[in-house]
Amino acid sequence: MRGSVTVHMQAAPDRVWALVSDVTRIGEFSPETFEAEWTDGATGPALGAHFRGHVKRNGVGPVYWTNCKVTSCEVGTDFGFAVYAGGQRANNWRYQLRERDGGTEVTESFELGGHPALRVYGLVIGPLRRRTNLRGMRQTLERIKAVVEA
Protein backbone atom coordinates (compact mmCIF):
# COMPACT_ATOMS: atom_id res chain seq x y z
CA MET A 1 0.00 0.00 0.00
CA ARG A 2 1.27 3.41 -0.93
CA GLY A 3 0.11 6.90 -1.77
CA SER A 4 1.24 10.47 -2.32
CA VAL A 5 -0.03 14.05 -2.27
CA THR A 6 1.56 17.05 -3.98
CA VAL A 7 1.09 20.71 -3.01
CA HIS A 8 2.73 23.77 -4.58
CA MET A 9 4.14 26.32 -2.13
CA GLN A 10 5.30 29.86 -2.87
CA ALA A 11 8.56 29.47 -0.98
CA ALA A 12 12.13 28.44 -1.72
CA PRO A 13 12.92 24.69 -1.47
CA ASP A 14 15.45 25.22 1.35
CA ARG A 15 12.82 27.02 3.43
CA VAL A 16 10.26 24.24 2.93
CA TRP A 17 12.87 21.55 3.56
CA ALA A 18 13.81 23.19 6.86
CA LEU A 19 10.24 22.63 8.06
CA VAL A 20 9.64 19.10 6.78
CA SER A 21 12.98 17.86 8.11
CA ASP A 22 12.58 19.41 11.59
CA VAL A 23 10.72 16.53 13.23
CA THR A 24 10.39 18.53 16.45
CA ARG A 25 7.83 20.73 14.64
CA ILE A 26 5.63 17.91 13.28
CA GLY A 27 2.99 18.56 15.95
CA GLU A 28 2.22 21.89 14.26
CA PHE A 29 1.36 20.20 10.99
CA SER A 30 0.31 16.56 11.32
CA PRO A 31 -3.21 15.50 12.31
CA GLU A 32 -1.83 12.32 13.94
CA THR A 33 1.75 12.84 15.12
CA PHE A 34 1.56 15.49 17.81
CA GLU A 35 5.21 15.55 18.87
CA ALA A 36 8.59 14.09 17.99
CA GLU A 37 12.10 14.23 19.36
CA TRP A 38 15.56 13.30 18.16
CA THR A 39 17.06 10.28 19.97
CA ASP A 40 20.31 8.34 20.25
CA GLY A 41 22.40 11.52 20.20
CA ALA A 42 20.83 13.00 17.05
CA THR A 43 20.16 16.75 17.18
CA GLY A 44 18.83 17.35 13.68
CA PRO A 45 18.24 15.82 10.27
CA ALA A 46 21.03 13.59 8.97
CA LEU A 47 21.11 10.31 7.11
CA GLY A 48 20.76 7.51 9.67
CA ALA A 49 19.61 9.81 12.51
CA HIS A 50 17.03 8.39 14.90
CA PHE A 51 13.95 10.03 16.36
CA ARG A 52 10.69 8.99 17.89
CA GLY A 53 7.22 10.25 17.16
CA HIS A 54 4.24 10.42 19.48
CA VAL A 55 1.16 9.38 17.52
CA LYS A 56 -2.55 9.65 18.20
CA ARG A 57 -3.91 7.24 15.60
CA ASN A 58 -6.66 8.78 13.46
CA GLY A 59 -6.50 11.84 15.73
CA VAL A 60 -8.42 9.98 18.46
CA GLY A 61 -6.29 7.04 19.60
CA PRO A 62 -4.72 4.79 20.50
CA VAL A 63 -1.71 6.89 21.52
CA TYR A 64 1.78 5.42 21.16
CA TRP A 65 5.44 6.20 20.38
CA THR A 66 7.11 5.08 17.14
CA ASN A 67 10.83 4.67 16.52
CA CYS A 68 12.07 6.18 13.27
CA LYS A 69 15.27 6.40 11.23
CA VAL A 70 16.12 8.98 8.56
CA THR A 71 16.56 7.17 5.23
CA SER A 72 17.05 10.11 2.85
CA CYS A 73 18.37 13.55 3.67
CA GLU A 74 19.33 15.97 0.91
CA VAL A 75 18.95 19.62 1.84
CA GLY A 76 16.37 21.35 -0.31
CA THR A 77 15.24 18.24 -2.20
CA ASP A 78 14.54 15.13 -0.13
CA PHE A 79 13.73 14.01 3.42
CA GLY A 80 12.55 10.52 4.22
CA PHE A 81 12.31 8.21 7.18
CA ALA A 82 11.28 4.68 8.11
CA VAL A 83 8.93 3.91 10.99
CA TYR A 84 9.67 0.73 12.91
CA ALA A 85 7.33 -1.55 14.87
CA GLY A 86 8.57 -4.64 16.64
CA GLY A 87 12.01 -4.15 15.13
CA GLN A 88 10.58 -4.32 11.59
CA ARG A 89 10.26 -1.50 9.07
CA ALA A 90 6.51 -0.80 9.09
CA ASN A 91 6.18 2.31 6.96
CA ASN A 92 8.31 4.66 4.88
CA TRP A 93 7.52 8.38 4.65
CA ARG A 94 9.14 10.81 2.27
CA TYR A 95 9.05 14.48 1.29
CA GLN A 96 10.42 15.26 -2.16
CA LEU A 97 10.83 18.90 -3.17
CA ARG A 98 11.24 20.35 -6.62
CA GLU A 99 11.71 23.99 -7.54
CA ARG A 100 8.85 24.94 -9.84
CA ASP A 101 7.01 28.07 -11.00
CA GLY A 102 8.85 30.38 -8.60
CA GLY A 103 8.16 28.15 -5.60
CA THR A 104 8.39 24.54 -4.53
CA GLU A 105 6.36 21.51 -5.50
CA VAL A 106 6.26 19.26 -2.42
CA THR A 107 5.25 15.61 -2.63
CA GLU A 108 4.66 13.71 0.59
CA SER A 109 4.41 9.95 0.17
CA PHE A 110 4.14 6.77 2.19
CA GLU A 111 4.73 3.11 1.45
CA LEU A 112 3.89 0.28 3.81
CA GLY A 113 6.74 -2.12 4.60
CA GLY A 114 6.93 -5.57 3.03
CA HIS A 115 6.43 -7.78 6.11
CA PRO A 116 3.74 -10.44 5.43
CA ALA A 117 1.57 -9.16 8.30
CA LEU A 118 1.66 -5.68 6.75
CA ARG A 119 0.61 -7.10 3.37
CA VAL A 120 -2.43 -8.68 5.01
CA TYR A 121 -3.16 -5.40 6.81
CA GLY A 122 -2.90 -3.60 3.46
CA LEU A 123 -5.43 -5.94 1.88
CA VAL A 124 -7.94 -5.89 4.74
CA ILE A 125 -7.78 -2.35 6.12
CA GLY A 126 -5.62 -0.78 3.43
CA PRO A 127 -8.24 1.13 1.45
CA LEU A 128 -9.56 2.90 4.57
CA ARG A 129 -6.08 3.60 5.94
CA ARG A 130 -4.87 4.84 2.55
CA ARG A 131 -7.72 7.39 2.41
CA THR A 132 -6.91 8.50 5.97
CA ASN A 133 -3.22 8.87 5.09
CA LEU A 134 -3.97 10.85 1.92
CA ARG A 135 -6.29 13.20 3.82
CA GLY A 136 -3.70 13.60 6.59
CA MET A 137 -0.86 14.26 4.15
CA ARG A 138 -2.87 16.96 2.38
CA GLN A 139 -3.69 18.54 5.75
CA THR A 140 -0.01 18.40 6.77
CA LEU A 141 1.19 19.97 3.52
CA GLU A 142 -1.48 22.70 3.60
CA ARG A 143 -0.46 23.59 7.17
CA ILE A 144 3.22 23.73 6.14
CA LYS A 145 2.23 25.88 3.15
CA ALA A 146 0.43 28.34 5.43
CA VAL A 147 3.60 28.76 7.51
CA VAL A 148 6.09 29.12 4.64
CA GLU A 149 3.86 31.49 2.69
CA ALA A 150 3.05 33.74 5.67
Which pLDDT tens digit goes with each residue over 44-100?
Answer: 999 999 999 999 987 778 899 999 999 999 999 999 999 998 888 999 999 999 999
Q: Go through the domains of the chain in sequence order and give each one's CATH number.
A: 2-148 (3.30.530.20)
pTM over 0.85: yes
Res. 138: pLDDT tops 80: yes
**C-alpha–C-alpha distance, residues 18 and 36, integer Å:** 15
Burial 67-95 (b: 16+ CB within 10 A, else e): bbbbbebeebbbbbbbbbeeeebbbbbbb
Summarize pLDDT for 86-129 with one digit per residue, the tens: 888 999 999 999 999 999 999 999 998 776 666 666 666 777 88
